[in-house]
């Protein structure tokens, strides 16, 4: 079980670096989607000994939501805003890559000192979650285009989802489903706002949102 | 069953309102649903039903201590909304259902006894507020909405992480990882201390963002400043109270786990910091709607200070939730009238409103005195109780700092309110239809002020009993 788990989470952590290093928004959106699908498959690996229809259902819903619906909404927002690149990030691509890589290494190294249950040590579950949360924050802070920031938010959410899988045997499916629903609706709402910002400011550069201050 | 009705009726009302074909009659759904909701709350307040400890959603003593106040605030705001929406040309097909959705989800959040359900309800409230904030459709309102979504979304994500950490505290301590409050409280000292503290920090930051505690308050002036007054009233009196309720429930778990002293200290520190930051910004801001947002930050800080003072403090905090919510509602509604008439909320452009809108101006000034804790309004009595509790708990320095903040806030608020009300009105450039102070726009804020007065002078024994029961639920006597 640990091998498949490490493979999926390791791939997701690799996608972090791709997300940090790219300036092209379609690549960023698809990276986040691929990461969502990889993580969406994890419940099947973690609970391989006790598969039932509810688990399969929630897996399907997660994969469809994170892999199809959310990227579809984001790509549509991107097309309507008519932009494909993030040109002037706050934190450049090389510095964000270095930060992300350093953070990932630190996450793996630090996990040893965390008080964890024996079944959660020795694999990439906890360090993966920490690395994803960190990457999400770097994108949220370091990018200026609204869509890149949303992608950062989604990677952050992926990391929290991964952390949530630590509780998979005790959290009821209904709760997981509610969380997924909220995130999807959230992205839908964000898509609408992004569209309105584009119309009102003729740009998706959040640095232009400076009318409100003291 | 009644607990579910409080959630289902507003949600059903929202669906019906969304399908209703007529713009002019759609706002009537708001007072109708609000009235049913308030009556149901009142019935449950008078005659509490037994709570199944394993239930995920229930009208337990804690919900009973706060939710009726939120319901009353919604009902009065709903009456205001009918007159307010009549003045507006925009379509209200989204606005009215979103308001009802907020009411239903607030009821769910207040009654949630499962950390996951609590999170889902809070996040859903956050999203349901989005169309309310950008109702005016100006570029500034979209900017405010974006900041609200980004800061609020990040905060709420951190609270989900905190909820997971609390579940892990249960697993690591040998429990089942069940995150209902009943199970967590039952495990008590068995929870892993490290993970409880991690969870507390994340949850305090997460739900603190939703409450608007400094330094996570940055979305608040923007959102309150750009949204209609009625939305500000509900955000300041309703949405923040869900987050406060969440913190109270979580604090009781941290207490049971034996880390209560840490939780109290952090709450006191963040509360004092919020009150101080808010007081300083109140001296600086030049916009009377943003002023109300900073005043809300200040009062959220006061709630945190009070709830760090043990059972009597929590009792005073519950009192303050009511008095702050009702008074703030009156301020937001009367300030909304001024803003609608002057078409601006900056003190550089709005002057002499006592000549243009005498009644709204009077209400705003009275509300300003009420919220800065002048007797005999509700906030005076609740804050007095907090000060006395703090002195009894030996927190002399905290009381001194707290009083300084209150004084600074009074300077800031009176400076802005008086400069808006006093002076000679500015000539209007365009001769748009003059704003009329109809009864529908004046009576609701007046009612809220009267309610605040009534709460201060004749605090009903029914409410006192409800608050005591809630304190007993949070601090069960061993």
Q: Residue B215 pLDDT > 70, yes or no? A: yes
pLDDT in tens, chain A (214 residues): 688 999 999 999 999 999 999 989 999 999 999 999 999 898 888 888 877 888 888 888 889 988 998 899 888 888 887 777 877 888 989 999 999 999 999 999 999 888 998 888 888 999 999 999 999 999 999 988 888 888 999 999 999 999 988 888 877 776 777 777 778 788 878 877 887 887 777 777 777 787 777 7
Alpha-carbon distance B166 to B173, whole Å?
A: 11
Average pLDDT over residues B214-227: 92
Q: How many domains in chain B?
A: 1
Mean pLDDT, range B342-346, rounded to an integer: 87
Q: What is the average per-residue pLDDT within B51-55?
A: 86
pLDDT higher than 70, residue B17: yes
Q: What percent of chain B shows pLDDT beyond 70? A: 98
Q: Per-residue confidence at B478, pLDDT binned at 50, 70, 90?
A: low
State how far the Cα of A213 lies from the Cα of A22, in Å rounded to an integer: 32
Judged by a CB distance cut-off of 8 A, whether residue B377 touches chain A is no
For residue A214, how far is the Cα from the chain centroid?
33
**Alpha-carbon distance B56 to B289, whole Å?**
38
CA distance A207 to chain B (A): 11
What are the distances in angstroms from CA B148 to CA B104, B271, B403? 21, 21, 30
Which of A:36-95 have CB within 8 Å of B? none
Contact, B229 vs B337, CB < 8 A?
A: yes
Q: Tokens standing for B254?
A: 């941290």
Residues of A in contact with B281 (CB under 8 A): 214
Judge: B150–A153 Cβ closer than 8 Å, yes or no. yes
Cα dihedral B29, B34, B35, B37 sign: positive
CB within 8 Å of A201: residues ≥ 6 apart: A208, A209, B139, B142, B143
Q: Give the residue on A whose Cα is nearest the Cα of B294.
A: A214
| Residues paired with residue A85 on neighbouring β-strands, in sequence order | A24
Distance CA B79, CA B438 (A): 12
How far does A183 lie from chain B, in Å, by closest CA? 9
Which of A145, A154, A170, A176 best tests the B interface by mutation, with the highest count of B CBs <10 A?
A170
Tell me the pLDDT tens digit for each residue of A136-161: 999 999 988 888 888 999 999 999 99
Give which of B223, B161, B213 is closest to A136, Cα–Cα.
B161
Give residue A129's pLDDT. Answer: 94
Q: How many CB atoms lie within 10 A of CB B429?
A: 7
Range of the domain at B120: 2-427+434-474
Q: Which of B254, B316, B208, B323 lies closest to B475 in space, CA to CA?
A: B254
pLDDT at residue number B429: 56
Sign of CA dihedral B201, B203, B206, B211: negative
Which residues of chain B are within 8 Å of residue A160 when distances are taken between CB atoms? Answer: 157, 160-161, 164
pLDDT over threshold 70, residue B432: no
Structure tokens at B14: 């929202």
Q: Tell me, what's the pLDDT at A205?
A: 78
Preferred mutation among B115, B116, B118 to probe A, highest tally of A CBs within 10 A:
B116
Return the pLDDT at A183: 81
Lowest-confidence region among B81-90, B93-102, B192-201, B220-229? B81-90
Half-sphere exposure of B71 (CA within 13 A, CB side): 28
The mean pLDDT of B229-255, rounded to a whole number, is: 95
The whole-angstrom separation of Cα A37 and Cα A64 is 8
Among B252, B246, B254, CA closest to B311: B252
Judged against a pLDDT cut of 60, whether residue B430 lies above it is answered with no
Mean pLDDT, range B189-194, rounded to an integer: 92
Give the whole-angstrom CA distance, residue B104 versus residue B11.
6
Mean pLDDT of B311-338: 95
Task: Write out residues 87-146 of A within 8 Å (CB-CB) of B.
Answer: 115-117, 133, 140, 146
Q: Do B154 and A140 touch (CB under 8 A)?
A: yes
Contact between B299 and B317 under an 8 Å Cβ cutoff? The reply is no
Q: What is the 3-state secondary structure (H, E, C) of chain B?
A: CHHHHHHHHHHHHHHHHHHCCCCCCHHHHHHHHHHHHHHHHHHHHHCCCCCCCCCCECCCHHHHHHHHHHHHHHHHHHHHHHHHHHHCCCCCCCHHHHHHHHHHHHHHHHHECEHHHHHHHHHHHHHHCHHHHCCCCCHHHHHHHHHHHHHHHHHHHHHHHHHHHHHHHHHHCCCCCCCEHHHHHHHHHHCCHHHHHHHHHHHHHHHHHHHCCCCCCCHHHHHHHHCCHHHHHHHHHHHHHHHHHHHHHHHHHHHHCCCHHHHHHHHHHHHHHHHHHHHHHHCCCCEHHHHHHHHHHHHHHHHHHHHCCHHHHHHHHHHHHHHHHHHHHHHHHHHHHHHHHHCCCECCCCCCHHHHCHHHHHHHHHHHHHHCCCCCCHHHHHHHHHHHHHHHCCCHHHHHHHHHHHHHHHHHHHHHHHHHHCCCCCCCCCCCCCCCCCHHHHHHHHHHHHHHHHHHHCCCHHHHHHHHHHHHHHCCCC
Check whether B63 has a pLDDT greater than 70: yes
For B127-175, what is each residue's pLDDT tens digit?
999 999 999 888 889 889 989 988 998 898 999 999 999 999 999 998 8
Tell the burial category of B94 from Cβ atoms under 10 Å away from its Cβ (0-12, 13-18, 19+). Answer: middle
CA torsion B470-B471-B476-B478 (nearest 10°) is -160
Q: What is the pTM of this model?
A: 0.94
Nearest to B267 by CA among B221, B326, B227, B307: B307
Q: What share of chain A is helix, strand, coil (3-state, %, to 5)?
A: 80, 0, 20
Distances (CA, A) of A64 to A41, A44, A47, A59, B21: 11, 15, 20, 8, 34
Report yes or no: B100 and B11 within 8 Å, Cβ to Cβ: yes
Cα–Cα distance measured from residue A162 to residue B147, given in angstroms and rounded to the nearest whole number: 26
């Amino acid at each position: 079980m640990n091998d498949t788990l490490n493979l999926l989470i390791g791939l997701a952590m690799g996608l972090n670096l791709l997300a940090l290093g790219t300036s092209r928004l379609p690549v960023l959106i698809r990276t986040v989607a691929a990461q969502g699908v990889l993580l969406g498959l994890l419940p099947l690996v973690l609970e391989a000994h006790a598969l039932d229809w509810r688990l399969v259902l929630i897996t399907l819903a997660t994969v469809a939501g994170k892999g199809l619906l959310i990227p579809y909404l984001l790509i549509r927002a991107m097309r309507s805003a008519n932009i494909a690149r993030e040109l002037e990030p706050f934190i450049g691509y090389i510095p964000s890559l270095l930060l992300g890589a350093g953070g990932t290494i630190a996450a793996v190294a630090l996990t040893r000192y965390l008080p964890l249950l024996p079944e959660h040590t020795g694999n990439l579950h906890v360090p993966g979650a920490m690395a994803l949360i960190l990457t999400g924050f770097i994108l949220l802070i370091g990018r200026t285009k609204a869509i890149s920031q949303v992608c950062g938010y989604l990677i952050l959410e992926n990391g929290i989802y991964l952390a949530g899988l630590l509780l998979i045997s005790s959290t009821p499916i209904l709760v997981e489903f509610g969380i997924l629903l909220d995130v999807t609706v959230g992205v839908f709402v964000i898509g609408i706002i992004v569209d309105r910002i584009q119309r009102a400011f003729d740009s998706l550069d959040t640095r232009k949102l400076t009318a409100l201050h003291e | 069953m009644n607990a579910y009705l409080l959630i289902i009726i507003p949600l059903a009302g929202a669906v019906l309102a969304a399908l209703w074909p007529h713009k002019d009659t759609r706002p009537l759904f708001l007072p109708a649903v609000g009235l049913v909701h308030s009556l149901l709350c009142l019935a449950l307040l008078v005659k509490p039903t037994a709570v199944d400890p394993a239930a995920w959603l229930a009208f337990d003593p804690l919900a009973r201590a706060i939710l009726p106040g939120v319901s009353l605030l919604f009902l009065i705001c709903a009456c205001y909304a009918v007159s307010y929406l009549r003045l507006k040309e925009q379509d209200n097909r989204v606005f009215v259902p979103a308001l009802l959705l907020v009411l239903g989800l607030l009821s769910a959040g207040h009654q949630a006894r499962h950390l996951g359900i609590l999170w889902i309800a809070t996040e859903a409230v956050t999203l349901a507020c989005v169309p309310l904030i950008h109702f005016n459709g100006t570029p500034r309102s979209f900017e405010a909405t974006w900041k609200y979504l980004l800061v609020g979304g990040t905060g709420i994500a951190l609270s989900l992480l905190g909820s997971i950490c609390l579940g892990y505290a249960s697993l690591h301590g040998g429990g089942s990882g069940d995150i209902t409050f009943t199970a967590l409280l039952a495990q008590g000292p068995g929870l892993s201390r490290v993970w409880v503290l991690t969870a507390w920090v994340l949850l305090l930051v997460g739900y603190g963002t939703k409450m608007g505690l400094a330094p996570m308050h940055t979305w608040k002036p923007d959102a309150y400043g750009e949204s209609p007054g009625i939305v500000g009233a509900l955000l300041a009196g309703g949405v923040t109270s869900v987050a406060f309720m969440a913190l109270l429930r979580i604090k009781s778990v941290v207490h049971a786990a034996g880390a209560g002293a840490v939780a109290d200290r952090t709450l006191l520190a963040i509360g004092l910091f919020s009150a101080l930051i808010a007081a300083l910004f109140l001296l600086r801001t030049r916009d009377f709607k943003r002023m109300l947002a900073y005043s809300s930050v200040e009062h959220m800080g006061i709630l945190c200070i009070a709830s760090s003072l043990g059972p009597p403090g929590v009792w005073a905090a519950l009192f303050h939730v009511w008095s702050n919510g009702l008074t703030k509602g009156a301020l937001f509604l009367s300030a909304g009238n001024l803003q609608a008439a002057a078409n601006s909320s900056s003190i550089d452009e709005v002057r002499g409103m006592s000549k243009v809108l005498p009644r709204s101006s009077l209400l705003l000034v009275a509300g300003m005195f009420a919220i800065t804790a002048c007797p005999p309004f509700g906030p005076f009595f609740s804050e007095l109780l907090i000060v006395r509790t703090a002195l009894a708990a030996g927190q002399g320095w905290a009381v001194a700092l707290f009083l300084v903040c209150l004084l600074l806030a009074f300077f800031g608020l009176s400076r802005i309110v008086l400069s808006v009300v006093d002076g000679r009105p500015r000539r209007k450039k365009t001769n748009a239809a003059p704003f009329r102070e109809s009864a529908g726009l004046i009576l609701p804020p007046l009612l809220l002020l009267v309610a605040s007065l009534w709460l201060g002078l004749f605090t009903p024994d029914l409410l006192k009993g409800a608050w005591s029961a809630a304190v007993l639920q949070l601090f069960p006597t061993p």
